[in-house]
Amino acid sequence: MAHRDELSAGAKHKLIQAAAREKNPLEKLTYDSYKSNAGEEFKLYCRTKGDMDDKTLKWAFKLAEQNVGPFYKALKMGWKPKIKQSELNKNWARYLVALNQQKQPVAYTMFRFDMDDGDCVLYCYEIQISPDYRRKGLGKFMMQTLEACARHWSLEKVMLTVLNNNDNSQKFFKSIGYITDGTSPDVMKLEEYQILSKSTLG
């Protein structure tokens, strides 16, 4: 295949469409189980928003509210629950959910396949982990799964948005190789977020 920079916009759109058509774009990847260094095992599944049950979607919203609501409230943009609920219920949304050994959901990432500034990308809109299950390597595993998915479908990078006041989140993403994307707002614009990305080429 030609280098992504050499592909036309139409060819890149076809890559996005091919991934988006799949009911489970992770099916050919090894993603459905993870064991922490302490031996704790997790099962993972990937579903479209349409295949998610209402109980899990409500749990996802509450976890996002718990984890990032305070950061939003500290910013001018504020926490807007109706907007967050709308985002989590987009028809294009894909979910990767992790279950603990009691089969309870403990972490999720919501993502989509999209074009961004001329690049074909996997955009991670959310990754939320229940407080009791952090620092077990689960978040890193889930992000590596998204990166593997992007490579599998010949996409150029994984992108995400992080709040400027969420230092722990910024440190986490940078520790696993994410850098400020060229589309991130200039610091002089005083935006309350930045866009990070990681190339999946090569």
The whole-number pLDDT of residue 188 equals 65
Instruction: Say how far apart CA 163 and CA 170 lie, in whole Å.
Output: 8
Tokens of 193: 């977020």
The whole-number pLDDT of residue 128 equals 98
Domain ranges of the chain: 9-199
Mean pLDDT of all residues belonging to the chain: 94
Tell me the per-residue pLDDT of 41-63, one tens digit each, with 9 for 90 and over: 999 999 999 999 999 999 999 99
Instruction: Say how far apart CA 89 and CA 114 lie, in whole Å.
Output: 17
Average pLDDT over residues 16-39: 95
CATH topology of domain 9-199: Aminopeptidase (3.40.630)
Instruction: Say how far apart CA 199 and CA 178 lie, in whole Å.
Output: 8
Between 119 and 188, name the one with better pLDDT: 119
